Amino acid sequence: MNPWGWQNLNLMLALNSLGRMGFTGVIFFTLIGAGMSFRDGIKGLLPPKAKDYVEQGNLDQAAYGQKFHSALQNYNQAIKLEPTYAEAYAERGNLYIKWSYYLDRASKNKYSRKKAQELNYDLSKSTAMKNAALADYRQAKIILER
């Protein structure tokens, strides 16, 4: 183990290899040492793509506490950036189904109902979300059939 920590070691490696590897090599060594993937590290350097928003939406959906609002914003942003990206519509449809299922359960369970109200979830929107999911699935199908 290096006594200066990973950051310093990789900075030294990057500086030593600057002439041989160029800018990409410097970024790669620094990110690997920091425990990041190359893609994760360059996200701040490049403008986000629709796929990045879909991936973040999927992470929000899977997160403990299910960050539905955040996931929805990410899917909407992906669709705004790339209106013909079928996966964004399909994933947003999946979110609507999952969210409507949560609302259905919450309306029948006192504890879940209280939690849903704390999160500002409108329990009456379950059917509307199912309809929105169906519309998104149809849109994804139309895009894929082109």
Q: What is the DSSP letter of 25?
A: H
Enter the CATH code of domain 50-145: 1.25.40.10
Cα-flanking dihedrals φ and ψ of residue 82, to 5°? -140, 85
Please state the domain extents for the chain: 5-42, 50-145
pLDDT in tens, 16-25: 444 444 444 4
**Whether residue 108 has pLDDT greater than 70:** yes
CA–CA distance, 32 with 6 (Å, rounded to integer): 9
**Whether residue 121 has pLDDT greater than 50:** yes
pTM over 0.75: no
Q: What angle do CA 95, 99, 105 make, to 5 degrees?
A: 150
The percent of residues in the chain predicted with pLDDT above 70, rounded, is: 68
The confidence band for 46, taking pLDDT boundaries of 50, 70 and 90, is: confident
pLDDT in tens, 64-106: 667 888 999 999 999 999 999 999 999 999 999 998 998 888 8
Contact 42, 27 (CB under 8 A): yes
**Whether residue 124 has pLDDT greater than 80:** yes
Q: Across all residues in the chain, what is the average pLDDT?
A: 76
In this structure, what token pair is assigned to residue 78? 């992906």
How many other CB atoms sit within 10 Å of the CB of residue 142?
12
CA–CA distance, 8 with 133 (Å, rounded to integer): 49
Long-range contacts of 11-16 (CB under 8 A, 24+ apart): none
**Whether residue 127 has pLDDT greater than 50:** yes
**Whether residue 26 has pLDDT greater than 50:** no
Say how many residues make up the chain. Answer: 146
Calculate the alpha carbon distances from 97 to 37, 61, 76, 107, 112 in Å.
32, 11, 16, 15, 17
In a 3-state reduction of DSSP, which class is residue 143? Answer: helix
In this structure, what token pair is assigned to residue 5? 């920590």
Contact 94, 127 (CB under 8 A): no
